[in-house]
Amino acid sequence: MPSEEAAGIIDLYQRKALDWIEGRARIGLFEKPWLDRFRALLPPAGPILDLGCGSAEPMAAYLIELGYPVVGVDSSPAMIDVCWRHFSRHEWIVADMRKLALRRRFSGILAWDSFFHLCHDDQRNMFPVFREHAAPEAALMFTSGPAHGEAIGNFGGEPLYHASLDPAEYRSLLDQNGFRVVSHVVEDPDCGGHTIWLAQLI
């Protein structure tokens, strides 16, 4: 069964949405090199699905500026309200990524700093969701932990849940769902210590 901290993630981000937005704005777009690798796999103006999009700043905003249509999904209505205010020509959806069924396919799927808040079984169950929303040769990029386990961080003085599968299991799940690993870096020192997976549907 998911822990109390895992079950509280959606409520935590809703209550602390403005704190998250303010804190994220101070960091800047340190993910740009990885976003550029991601978009190198996309066709021009290929549609992108951003799972756990937050306020759309800065990652989705960067892709929008480059001409990509973005559909953003987040469980926090407060975050999605900000997305609509700033980027009204794009589509923003309040939804739990674990239950997503848009009946549409995308050239790129992002789950950056969002997927790793799911418990182990929910992460395993996301790979068919990725596959269902992936167009032919779609790119998929997500962040995880470096090894199997769970960790509790801190956000606004409250516990913040993270989980990761073993790298071999991620590779197996990607393979089972038709994705090949393009690049995988553990705790990338040039990207804030993030562990990153970039894959492509084959």
Domain tally for the chain?
1
> Would you give per-residue pLDDT tens digits along the chain (202 residues)?
456 777 777 777 778 777 777 877 778 899 999 999 999 999 999 999 999 999 999 999 999 999 999 999 999 999 999 999 999 999 999 999 999 999 999 999 999 999 999 999 999 999 999 999 999 999 999 999 999 999 998 888 888 899 999 999 999 999 999 999 999 999 999 999 999 999 999 9
What is the CATH number for 104? 3.40.50.150
Entry field: residues in the chain: 202
Integer-rounded Cα Rg, in Å, for the chain is: 16
Domain extent for 69: 4-201
State the DSSP code for 1.
Answer: -
Spatial distance between the Cα atoms of 111 and 195, rounded to a whole number of angstroms: 12
